[in-house]
């Protein structure tokens, strides 16, 4: 175990922990945007900057992915760390001036406005954190979206900005988006789910018993490919929503995932 002292508060964390892990254990709040435990931290947004005291000199590091390899002393509220986080937030506020999530975080951080000009309407809905790209690739096993363009034209898009053939409509990108840019839109007339703004549409699967909307057809097919069927009635249960599935007493069903 290593001892991490954060703003005078000491806590012990096991090897492999980050400064953010130590701060959470100590009950100290550090703002984050591009961090999520489901994916590897890349420290893209830089909003979690803290000051690491190395004795003879100090260094600014990102709390979400800085590994604790020995006893360390960290300052979250030092003048330098606070100013850097404020500067990052001011840039984000210029990037997404209409984003409710960003404005709420800015208020919590004590940042009232930004001195920078806001970007154009077509570019102002995404902070380019890349979390949607990483969860699609690292967790879902697809690469339906990626970064496109450079400089001020950089954005997250599907290949050639057309509907992606690799998208299975799981919605993980929308769930993990920290600013709500990616939306799931249901089209009742065509029985499809759309991943917006990527324009990808896939068919929805409905419960055979009550007609409730469940998951996308491609996602259901992916699930079928990655499980062993131990009971004949599994196929029937996969066509039922969770509520109806429970009513069918699915507790006797044993489904073992493939290694």
Per-residue tens of pLDDT for the chain, all 259 residues: 999 999 999 999 999 899 999 999 999 999 999 999 999 999 999 999 999 999 899 999 999 999 999 999 999 999 999 999 999 999 999 988 888 999 999 999 999 999 998 876 555 578 999 999 999 999 999 999 999 988 878 889 999 889 999 999 999 999 999 998 999 999 999 999 999 999 899 999 998 888 888 889 998 888 878 766 555 666 777 787 877 776 765 444 444 433 3
- Residue pair 67/16 in contact by the 8 Å Cβ criterion: yes
Confidence (pLDDT) at 257: 39
Q: Which helix (H) or strand (E) holds 214?
A: strand 213-216
- Residue pair 124/95 in contact by the 8 Å Cβ criterion: yes
Length of the chain: 259
Confidence (pLDDT) at 123: 52
Question: Cα–Cα distance between 52 and 4 in angstroms, integer?
Answer: 11
This prediction's pTM: 0.78
What separation in angstroms does the CA of 228 have from each of 219, 220, 225?
16, 14, 8
The residue with tokens 């007609």 is: 211
The residue with tokens 């967790």 is: 139
Fold of 1-121: Ubiquitin-like (UB roll) (3.10.20)
Confidence (pLDDT) at 2: 96
Give the residue extent of every domain in the chain.
1-121, 131-205, 206-257
């Amino acid at each position: 175990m290593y001892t991490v002292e954060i703003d005078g508060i000491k806590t012990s964390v096991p090897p492999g922990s980050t400064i953010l892990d130590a701060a959470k254990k100590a009950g100290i709040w550090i703002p984050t945007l591009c961090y999520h435990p489901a994916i590897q931290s890349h420290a893209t947004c830089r909003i979690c900057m803290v000051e690491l005291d190395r004795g003879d000199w100090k260094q600014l590091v990102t709390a979400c992915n800085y590994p604790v390899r020995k006893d360390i002393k960290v300052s979250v509220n030092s003048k330098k760390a606070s100013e850097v986080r404020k500067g990052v937030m001011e840039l984000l506020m210029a990037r997404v001036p209409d984003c409710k999530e960003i404005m709420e975080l800015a208020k919590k951080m004590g940042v009232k406005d930004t001195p920078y000009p806001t970007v154009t309407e077509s570019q102002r809905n995404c902070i380019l954190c890349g979390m949607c790209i990483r969860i699609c690739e690292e967790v879902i096993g697809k690469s339906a979206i990626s970064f496109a363009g450079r400089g001020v034209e950089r954005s997250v898009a599907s290949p050639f900005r057309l509907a992606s053939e690799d998208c299975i409509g799981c919605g993980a990108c929308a769930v993990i988006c920290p600013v709500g840019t990616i939306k799931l839109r249901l089209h009742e007339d065509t029985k499809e789910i759309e991943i917006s703004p990527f324009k990808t549409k896939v068919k929805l699967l409905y419960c055979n018993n009550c007609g409730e909307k469940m998951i996308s057809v491609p996602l259901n097919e992916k699930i079928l490919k990655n499980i062993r069927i131990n009971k004949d009635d599994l196929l029937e249960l996969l066509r039922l929503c969770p509520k109806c599935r429970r009513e069918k007493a699915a507790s006797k069903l044993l489904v073992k995932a493939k290694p």
